[in-house]
Amino acid sequence: MLPLADLQRDFVRAVLDADTGRLAALPLRESTIAPAVALGVYRNTVFGALANALRVTFPTVDKLVGEEFFDHLSAAFVEAHPPSRGALSLFGDGFADFIQTYAPVAELHYLADVARLDHLIDRTLAKPDVSVTRLYALDANVSLEIPKSLCAIRLEYPADQIRDALEAGDDDALGRIDLSPNPHWLVLWRAGRSVMLRAINDRAGIFLSVLLAGSGAEAAFALAAADAAPEAAMSAIQTDIFASNFVRVVEFKSEREFS
């Protein structure tokens, strides 16, 4: 018998590469089921489970390209980036970047952004509810209380409009969407079993993303205010963040989580 590590390495390659010869070369007992048939069952299970996992995480991509092409797309992704972890719900990191470089969908310039938004919504739903918050110091006296699930994303294309139209089943609205580049920022946070989306201006988006990345309020404001008068930048941040309903400006407390 082969050492177990060698047997398992060959088995995995046989499944991923549809290599019946490699499987048949393992010390198999003669059986009623031919190795090619057995390999087909294992491949169907693996690729089917991964396609379904991606379909759950990327529902808008699935609706846009259709079930048959989605299966093809997911199989190509799996072959290039097989999963490395035991939780299917975590599979799909890198799918959007893969779409960006996948030649058969090169003309669908917006598809990678649609995947990015789907992915972020899925991951936001896996975070604690809105009541779990974290404080970010703005200065010595004031902090920003932000839901732990809150995140910001800059999209090049109107992926949010596409998602809304498909969720509503509104083909007319889908047809009216201008698919040319239109960079914009969104914030997302979890509320119960839903994910809330809100458009924010560019300076607010930069400020929030830098703050959430842990660089501090001063650095966040400096980047957000680049090429602008400080008063104008502060006004933009004030309007879309400080005055929003997804954060609270509070008297200073040490930075930590609350629930």
Question: What is the smallest separation between the CB atom of 118 and another protein, expressed in angstroms?
Answer: 16
Q: How far is CA 119 from CA 25, 112, 243, 255, in A?
A: 40, 10, 28, 28
Question: Residue 68 is encoded by which pair of tokens?
Answer: 């048959």
Q: Is 41 near another protein (CB under 8 A)?
A: yes
Q: How crowded is residue 39: how many other Cβ atoms within 10 Å of its Cβ?
A: 20
Question: What is the smallest separation between the CB atom of 125 and another protein, expressed in angstroms?
Answer: 5
User: Which residues between 190 and 229 bind another protein (CB under 8 A)?
Assistant: 190, 192-193
Task: Give the nearer residue to another protein in terms of CB position, either 5 or 140.
Answer: 5
Task: Give the nearer residue to another protein in terms of CB position, either 31 or 245.
Answer: 31
Name the segment binding another protein (CB under 8 A); options: 25-33, 65-73, 155-163, 225-233.
25-33
Question: What's the half-sphere exposure (Cβ side, CA atoms, 13 Å) at 107?
Answer: 2
Q: How far apart are CA 33 and CA 218, in angstroms?
A: 67
User: Which residues between 172 and 191 bind another protein (CB under 8 A)?
Assistant: 190
Q: How far apart are CA 143 and CA 215, in angstroms?
A: 14
Q: Is 94 near another protein (CB under 8 A)?
A: no
Q: Is 12 near another protein (CB under 8 A)?
A: yes
Q: What is the Cα gyration radius of the chain?
A: 23
Count of residues in contact with another protein, rule CB under 8 A: 46
Q: Is 129 near another protein (CB under 8 A)?
A: yes
Residues near another protein (CB under 8 A): 1, 3-5, 7-9, 11-12, 15-16, 26-29, 31-35, 37-38, 41-42, 45-46, 49-50, 53, 82-90, 125-129, 190, 192-193
